[in-house]
Amino acid sequence: MSVTNKRAYNFNAGPSALPLEVLEKAQRELVDFNSSGMSIMEMSHRSKDYDAVHNDAIARLKKLYSIPENYEVLFLQGGASLQFTMIPMNFLSEGKKASYILTGSWSEKALKEAKLFGEPIEAASSKENKYRNIPALSDITFNNDDAYVHLTSNNTIYGTAWNNFPDTGDVPLIADMSSDILSKPVDVSKFGIIYAGAQKNLGPSGVTVVIIRKDLLEKANTNIPTMLKYTTHADSNSLYNTPPTFGIYMLGEVLKWVEDQGGVEAIEKRNVEKASLIYNVIDQSNGFYVGHATPDSRSLMNITFRISNEDLEKQFLAEAKEAGFVGLNGHRSVGGCRASTYNAVPVETCQALANFMIEFQKKHQ
């Protein structure tokens, strides 16, 4: 039986679509990895076979994302949510300040954790505008003695994203890139730390990627639990304890797939094409579909929109489900509709949704 004829039009926000080629390769290798007579899940994380997978994934990510020499790539657990805690735990202390830019629920959660360890400051916020936009760079205030400035590069729930990042000079810029890592080229050297849960653009849930500048490791607090110290994981090549081996294997395969697509530039081009298909329908609908994000802050990864008539919106979601579209309900906190068009979502899936939206409007306008 082929898997292909059962694939859904998957717009899930996370965990989300993975490349079919990767899933099929994992399936082929599932019970016998590299002629070992075992699954990758069944072997020691200290074995030669696993070690190659682990180091290959690190090397591939460094190359694909042009990560400079003075950064470490770590594979941690606990999701992006544990990074909300680990960052202030490692870099704040009583009386020490950091600036947080609020662009949605995830940045709010990150700020909440920082308050447990130091004195974070709201550097800017678009909350009053229902998080429809990213604050203008000129509206962001931070202090030169901040431990760091934190932002969320793509706001998964509201569907907004940063186009240009603030220049924070000597203050390390930290970004939660959970929902847009590897969706477009990024100048990693502008950041002190980039982190991302893998389950949107990189692989299955269970792995968190942390890209951290080496000098920050030296500045980190030492009187904190071993497992929550970045240095523990940097010093042991993310093998201090048992890492999520299957997730890291999958992540490596997703990275190979990105290479096969032509790398991050080619992926970005495809992401622009995919998002445009859907944004164009919204923009040409004469107000039938209403985008949540202001056009200059639109995300390539999460397209959020409403239908002004609420009954019709319910009907849209019901008919879309009937037609085989999955994951189009907006986040429970904001409602409406959301199409998550991560790297692995094919152009054809986005075209199918665009066509469905046009037809739905014709029928119900």
Question: Could you say whether residue 203 binds ligand PLP (CB under 6 A)?
Answer: no
Residues 101 and 338: their CA atoms lie apart, in Å, by 23
**Closest to 30 in 3D by CA, of 16, 44, 43, 15:** 43
Question: Could you say whether residue 103 binds ligand PLP (CB under 6 A)?
Answer: no
**Closest to 275 in 3D by CA, of 254, 313, 314, 304:** 304
Residues 16 and 200: their CA atoms lie apart, in Å, by 6
Burial class (CB within 10 angstroms; exposed 0-12, middle 13-18, buried 19+) of 333: exposed
Cis ω on the peptide bond leading into residue 225 (within 30° of 0)?
no
Q: Residue 85 CB, nearest distance to ligand PLP (Å)? A: 10
Nearer to ligand PLP by Cβ, of 178 and 271: the residue is 178
Burial class (CB within 10 angstroms; exposed 0-12, middle 13-18, buried 19+) of 259: middle
Nearer to ligand PLP by Cβ, of 113 and 176: the residue is 176
Nearer to ligand PLP by Cβ, of 11 and 106: the residue is 106
Catalytic site residue from 146, 162, 200, 274: 200
The window from 29-37, 76-84, 163-171, 328-336 that contacts ligand PLP (CB under 6 A) reads 76-84
Q: Which amino acid is at 282?
A: I
CA torsion, ordered 30, 33, 36, 40, to nearest 10 deg: -80
Total number of residues that touch ligand PLP (CB under 6 A) = 11
Q: Which amino acid is at 266?
A: A
106 is catalytic: yes
Distance of CA 157 to the CA centre of its chain: 12
Question: Could you say whether residue 113 binds ligand PLP (CB under 6 A)?
Answer: no
Question: Could you say whether residue 80 binds ligand PLP (CB under 6 A)?
Answer: yes
Nearer to ligand PLP by Cβ, of 275 and 307: the residue is 275
Size of the chain in residues: 365
Q: Which amino acid is at 100?
A: Y
Nearer to ligand PLP by Cβ, of 161 and 255: the residue is 161
Catalytic site residue from 146, 162, 176, 180: 176
Question: Could you say whether residue 330 binds ligand PLP (CB under 6 A)?
Answer: no
Binding characters for ligand PLP, 32-71, by CB under 6 A (x = yes): ----------------------------------------
Interface with ligand PLP (CB under 6 A), residue from 34, 36, 47, 81: 81
Question: Could you say whether residue 201 binds ligand PLP (CB under 6 A)?
Answer: no
Interface with ligand PLP (CB under 6 A), residue from 12, 16, 103, 178: 178
Q: Which amino acid is at 272?
A: V
Q: Which two tokens stand for residue 97?
A: 């300040």
Interface with ligand PLP (CB under 6 A), residue from 156, 160, 285, 299: 156
Catalytic site residue from 106, 229, 257, 274: 106
176 is catalytic: yes
The window from 56-64, 174-182, 315-323, 333-341 that contacts ligand PLP (CB under 6 A) reads 174-182
Question: Could you say whether residue 126 binds ligand PLP (CB under 6 A)?
Answer: no
Question: Could you say whether residue 179 binds ligand PLP (CB under 6 A)?
Answer: yes
The window from 79-87, 91-99, 140-148, 251-259 that contacts ligand PLP (CB under 6 A) reads 79-87
Q: Which two tokens stand for residue 306?
A: 């409403």
Nearer to ligand PLP by Cβ, of 197 and 327: the residue is 197
DSSP 8-state assignment for residue 19:
-
Question: Could you say whether residue 106 binds ligand PLP (CB under 6 A)?
Answer: yes
CA torsion, ordered 165, 170, 174, 175, to nearest 10 deg: 10
- Decide: 174 and 193 in contact? Cβ < 8 Å: yes
Q: Residue 271 CB, nearest distance to ligand PLP (Å)? A: 16
Q: Residue 328 CB, nearest distance to ligand PLP (Å)? A: 17
Most distant pair of Cα atoms in the chain: their distance: 63
Question: Could you say whether residue 327 binds ligand PLP (CB under 6 A)?
Answer: no
Residues contacting residue 30 through CB under 8 Å, at least 6 positions apart: 39
Q: What is the DSSP string of 328-358?
A: -BPPTTT-SEEEE--TTS-HHHHHHHHHHHH
Residues 154 and 177: their CA atoms lie apart, in Å, by 6
Provide the annotated active-site residues.
Answer: 106, 176, 200
Residues at the interface with ligand PLP (CB under 6 A): 14, 79-81, 106, 152, 156, 176, 178-179, 197
